[in-house]
Amino acid sequence: MKLRCLLVDDEPLAHKVLENYIGQVGSLVVAGNCYTALEAFEFLNRQPVDILFLDINMPGMTGTTFLKTFEVKPAVIMTTAYRDYAVDGFEHDVTDFLLKPFALERFLKAVQKVQKQQVTSVQSNLNASDAPVAVYLKAGNEVIRLLQDELLYVEGLKEYLKLHRISGTMVYKGSFRQIEEAFPPRTFLRIHKSFLVSVKHLANIRGNEVKVGEKWLPVGRSYKMQVQQFLETFLLK
């Protein structure tokens, strides 16, 4: 499977270097290019990535400050021309630190660290796969236990979310991101600005629609590529 990479740097030349290196590695693909931390924040709200190549010294918000906004973050490889920033990066549990200018060999070592981490993570998830994943959500005056396997899809209703479960529906005041971060990575897929679906319950795909359980849901134009990449990476191989 290909690891999706998001490049975050205010220097266009830095993007070209990383794009060149990534293009030489068959297991990597560029998912997007952002030039500020705010652009990256908005991108990650729309779609997940596997590796975040993050510059430290950027205008507006530094890379290390940006990392503080995450509850759950992808593997992070920090890049900078300033050696003194390395300590700050590792304090935020980054996978590796690349000092500009860096050679292809050094880049590959950083990517290998990410791949080793992912193998370890998959093994841990397999060992814990027998235990049902559940979260507790407050709905009005009640606190409801929500099982991952029971949730079919989530529908956005302005300030609220409608959770469609096998046992029925419930309304929850929260965000799509909160639901995604509450469960293990890659268990839910954003297909539309108003819909987040369970990968386990994804039954069929037809044109610009997906079937979840017995319900057909639309795939938004801006999410179509994300859905296709997800299928190619996780379902078709």
What is the model's pLDDT at position 16?
96
Dist CA 87 CA 150 (whole Å): 43
Q: Where in the chain are all domains bearing CATH 3.40.50.2300?
A: 3-127
Can you give the pLDDT at residue 233? 56
CATH topology of domain 134-235: OB fold (Dihydrolipoamide Acetyltransferase, E2P) (2.40.50)
3-class DSSP state for residue 159? coil
Q: What are phi and psi for residue 231, nearest 5 degrees? A: -65, -45
What residue spans in the chain does CATH classification 2.40.50.1020 cover? Answer: 134-235
CATH number of 3-127: 3.40.50.2300
Query: Would you state the pLDDT for residue 236?
Result: 42
Say how many C-beta atoms besides its own lie within 10 A of residue 208's C-beta: 15
pLDDT on residue 202: 86
Residue with tokens 């030349």: 13
Does pTM surpass 0.85?
no
Q: What is the mean pLDDT of each run of 10 residues along the chain (237 residues)?
A: 88 96 90 94 89 91 86 85 63 83 93 76 47 70 80 91 91 84 82 92 86 92 79 53
The pLDDT value recorded for residue 123 is 46
| pLDDT value, residue 129 | 46
